[in-house]
Amino acid sequence: MISQKWAKLIKSLHLKKFRKAEQLFFVEGEKAVMEVLASGWPVKALFGTADFLGRHPDAAIAAELAHPCTASELEQVGTFTSNNAAIAVVELPHYAPFAEQNGDWVLVLDQINDPGNLGTIIRIADWYGIGHILCSTDTVDAFNPKVIASAKGSFLRVKLHYQPLAEVLGKVRQPVFGAYLGGESVHQLQLASSGGFIVLGNEANGISNELEPLISRRITIPAFGDAESLNVGIACAVIVDNLQRLSSTE
Amino acid sequence: MISQKWAKLIKSLHLKKFRKAEQLFFVEGEKAVMEVLASGWPVKALFGTADFLGRHPDAAIAAELAHPCTASELEQVGTFTSNNAAIAVVELPHYAPFAEQNGDWVLVLDQINDPGNLGTIIRIADWYGIGHILCSTDTVDAFNPKVIASAKGSFLRVKLHYQPLAEVLGKVRQPVFGAYLGGESVHQLQLASSGGFIVLGNEANGISNELEPLISRRITIPAFGDAESLNVGIACAVIVDNLQRLSSTE
């Protein structure tokens, strides 16, 4: 069973301020929990159903501490409406401040609010081999349980840095691309070299005025129909796909 | 206010069987309701807050019947947790069965279950000028309120046809592209001509065995990193973007 003390702790970790205070977050569901255990990230506690622990005897060893519990207990403390597998409580990672590497593509998120969008963007970064995401300090927290759920294990490989964006972008050497309406078409771009920063703006308001002077190239996904806009996760995927295509064929 | 009779009707329209029986669906929120009214689709009833009706006096005329009500009434009968604007009850459209047009790109959805994914795909189709989507008969219903919400007005322009896919694809002349792991990279494709069918499979199981022999070209989004997969909406956007790029530059 999940003790009162652990139940209270896990429930508190739904909120950023308690994740920060405790330096912990949690991961839900069979696949993500198995990925965390395999990753070597420090797991403080593992709660699993008898079925889950029976099928993964190694999981208990990897976690050092495994507590058998019921699916309903997992659902009570976590965010999944259905979880008949496990929850792992994990230490928050600490990344070095962002440092520019020539040739790397870096995503820059300017106040992304929706956790599902952030999770999707982390998964896209992982697919396209982007190791670092710069986030404005008001972007939704990467260890929000909904971000973790939609990032599908990719949060283990992509590093998110929450830093004042204008300060960082003011000092970089590589080009800074910004997604705008009415910029250069990503189908016709010419790149002098691979690598740079790709700025994506807030879901409703786009890129903030403060960052505008720091954008060196405005780029756009060409429209062939009548939709007004694309979701920020979709726009991210299409832009990154085009930039990686151009980088890899040059 | 929303009368008991209307409240009961709108609540019933959350479910496909009542939408089918009544031949009605509903649209929520200021932007989508205004788009429906502008589209000329037959609106059977409009429920709006005093504020909404005051700001859009023409809306009441366009709808013929406008009922003032409160935000809390809108939230009780609809699906939005917050709606201080309007709900429109609209007649279901009837589209002619799908007919192939040379040169057109057509999306084919093989058992897409998640309403958010379907809505996103409808919006992508609209952005890229794709007018028709073929859906397996077990794909989530296009007039599900969550699909309507995530399609953002694009459901007014893109026609969805629910038909047995194997039957339709067995008779088409243009190439049938299928999204698989390990197919031709969409970055390196050569197209003999523009147009064809783009088959996207179920979120968990991919393209069904029944359709496999009907796929003439297997295509893949190249991976540069370690993520196992991409969400079906993301995959749809990247594939369509590449095919439209290749079609428009030939």
Reduce the secondary structure of B167-180 to three states and give it as a string. Answer: HHHCCCCCCEEEEE
Give the position of tokens 């020539």.
Answer: A102
Please state, in angstroms and rounded to a whole number, the distance separating the CA atoms of residues A19 and A24.
Answer: 5
Q: Is B231 on the interface with A (CB under 8 A)?
A: yes
pLDDT at A73 over 60: yes
Does B241 contact A244 at a Cβ distance shorter than 8 Å?
no
Instruction: Answer for the pair B97, B187: CB distance below 8 angstroms, yes or no.
Output: no
Asked if the C-beta of A237 comes within 8 angstroms of chain B's C-beta atoms, the answer is yes
Q: Which of A68-77, A170-179, A236-245, B61-70 has the lowest mean pLDDT?
A: B61-70
pLDDT value at residue A181: 85
Q: In the predicted model, is pLDDT for residue A148 greater than 60?
A: yes
pLDDT digits (tens, 9 = 90+) for B100-115: 999 999 999 999 999 9
Element spanning B28, H or E: strand B24-28
Q: Give the residue from A238, A240, A247 with the most B CB atoms within 10 Å of its CB, the best one to mutate.
A: A238
Q: Cβ of A231 and B130 within 8 Å?
A: no
**Tokens, residue B19:** 């939408």
Pick the closest to residue B40 from B162, B157, B128 (CA basis).
B157
Per-residue confidence (pLDDT) for residue B61, from 0 to 100: 72
Residue among B174, B187, B176, B245 at smallest CA distance from B220: B187
Cβ-based contacts of A127 with chain B (< 8 Å): 221, 223-225, 227, 230
Tens digit of each residue's pLDDT (9 = 90 or more) over A14-66 = 999 999 999 999 999 999 999 999 999 999 999 999 999 999 988 777 667 78
pLDDT in the model for residue A61 = 72
Strand order in the sheet with B66-68: B24-28, B86-91, B43-48, B66-68
Q: What is the pLDDT of residue A29?
A: 96
Q: Do A242 and B241 touch (CB under 8 A)?
A: yes
Tokens representing A81 are 């409406």
Q: Do B234 and A233 count as a contact with CB atoms less than 8 A apart?
A: yes
Q: How many whole angstroms separate alpha carbon A116 and alpha carbon B225?
A: 21
Nearest residue of B to residue A239, measured between CA atoms: B238
pLDDT of residue A44: 93
Per-residue exposure over A21-47, b if at least 16 CB sit within 10 Å of its own CB, e if not: eeebbbbbbbebbbbbbeeebebbbbb
Q: State how far the Cα of A110 lies from the Cα of B214, in Å rounded to an integer.
A: 44
A209-223 pLDDT per residue, tens: 999 999 999 999 999
* Dihedral angle computed from the Cα positions of residues B161, B241, B247 and A216, in that order, rounded to the nearest 10 degrees: 150
Q: How confident is the model at residue A184 (pLDDT cuts 50, 70, 90)?
A: very high
Half-sphere exposure of A64 toward its Cβ, with a 13 Å CA cutoff? 8
A99-145: pLDDT as tens digits: 999 999 999 999 999 999 999 999 999 999 999 999 999 999 999 99
Q: What is the pLDDT of residue A60?
A: 72
Nearest CA in chain A to B221: A241
Of B15, B70, B24, B25, nearest in space to B47 by CA? B70
Which residues in chain B touch residue A129, judged by CB atoms under 8 angstroms apart? Answer: 223-226
φ, ψ for residue A109 (rounded to 5)?
-110, 115
**pLDDT exceeds cutoff 60 at B20:** yes
DSSP characters for A109-137?
ESS---HHHHHHHHHHHHHTT--EEEE-T
Task: Determine the distance in angstroms separating the CA of B165 from the nearest CA of chain A, rounded to an integer.
Answer: 25
Residue B209 C-alpha from the chain's centroid: 24
CB distance A225–B128 less than 8 Å?
yes
* Residue B168 burial (CB count, 10 A): 19
- Burial of residue B114, with CB atoms counted within 10 A of its CB: 0-12 exposed, 13-18 middle, 19 or more buried: middle
A105-249 topology per CATH: Alpha/beta knot (3.40.1280)
CB proximity B224 to A under 8 Å: yes
- 3-state SS class at A51: helix
pLDDT at residue number A63: 67
Which chain B positions have a beta carbon within 8 Å of A224's beta carbon?
127-129, 244, 248
Give the one of A221, A227, A244 whose C-beta lies nearest to B224's C-beta: A244
Q: How far apart are CA B231 and CA A120, in angstroms?
A: 8
Is the minimum CB–CB distance between B146 and chain A shorter than 8 Å?
Answer: no
Helices (H) and strands (E) in chain B, counts: 10, 10
Any B CB within 8 A of A193 CB: no
**Cβ of residue B54 closer than 8 Å to a chain A Cβ:** no
What residue ranges of chain A are covered by domains with CATH 3.40.1280.10?
A: 105-249
> What is residue B63's predicted lDDT score, i.e. its pLDDT?
67
Q: Domain B105-248 maps to which CATH number in 3.40.1280.10, 3.40.228.10, 2.30.30.90, 3.40.50.720?
A: 3.40.1280.10
Bin A91: left if φ > 0, else alpha if -120 < ψ < 50, else beta.
beta
**Check whether domain A4-91 has CATH 3.60.21.10, yes or no:** no
Tokens standing for B235? 């995959």
Residue-level pLDDT at B242:
97
Tokens of B79: 């699906």
Across the interface, of A125, A130, A187, the residue whose CB is closest to B245 is A187
> Which residue of B129, B222, B231 is in closest CB contact with A225?
B129
Q: Which residues of B touch A237 (CB under 8 A)?
A: 230, 234, 237-238
Q: Could you tell me the CA-to-CA distances from A116 to B112, B165, B176 in Å, in that order?
A: 19, 31, 32
Instruction: Catalogue the long-range contacts made by B150-153 (C-beta closer than 8 Å, 24 or more residues apart).
Output: B150/B115, B150/B116, B150/B118, B150/B119, B150/B120, B150/B123, B151/B118, B151/B119, B151/B120, B151/B122, B151/B123, B152/A227, B152/A228, B152/A229, B152/B31, B152/B32, B152/B119, B152/B123, B153/A227, B153/A228, B153/B31, B153/B32, B153/B35, B153/B36
Specify the domain boundaries for CATH 3.30.1330.30 within chain B: 4-91
**What is the DSSP code string of B118-146?**
HHHHHHHHHHTT--EEEE-TTSPPTTSHH
CA distances from B161 to B17, B76, B102 (A): 17, 31, 18
- Which part of chain B has CATH 3.40.1280.10? 105-248
| pLDDT per residue as tens digits for the range B218-244 | 999 999 999 989 999 999 999 999 999
CB pairs under 8 A between A and B: 108
The percent of residues above 90 in pLDDT, for chain A, comes to: 90
Using CB atoms within 10 Å of the CB of residue A219, give its burial: 0 to 12 exposed, 13 to 18 middle, 19+ buried.
buried
On chain A, the residues whose CB falls within 8 A of the CB of B248 are 187, 222, 224
Q: Does A167 touch chain B (CB under 8 A)?
A: no
Taking an 8 Å cut-off on Cβ atoms, the answer to whether B225 and A157 are in contact is yes
Mean pLDDT over all residues of chain B?
94
Phi/psi at B149 (5° precision): -65, -40
Tell if the CB–CB gap between A124 and B234 is shorter than 8 Å.
yes
| Token code pair at residue A181 | 């309406």
Residue B105: enclosing H or E segment and its boundaries?
A: strand B105-109
Chain A's closest residue to B131, CA to CA, is A225
Task: Measure the N-to-C terminal CA separation of chain B; round to a whole number of Å.
Answer: 57
User: B206 pLDDT band (50/70/90 cuts)?
Assistant: very high
Contacts with B238 from chain A: Cβ below 8 Å: 237-238, 241
Q: Is residue B248 scored above 90 in pLDDT?
A: no
Chain B contact set for A238 (CB, 8 A): 237-238, 241
pLDDT in tens, B133-158: 999 999 999 999 999 999 999 999 99
Alpha helices in chain A (DSSP H): 4-12, 16-22, 30-39, 50-55, 57-63, 71-77, 115-127, 145-151, 165-169, 232-249
Average pLDDT over all residues of chain A: 94
Residue A40 Rama label (left phi>0; alpha psi -120 to 50; beta) = left
Mean pLDDT of B55-75: 86
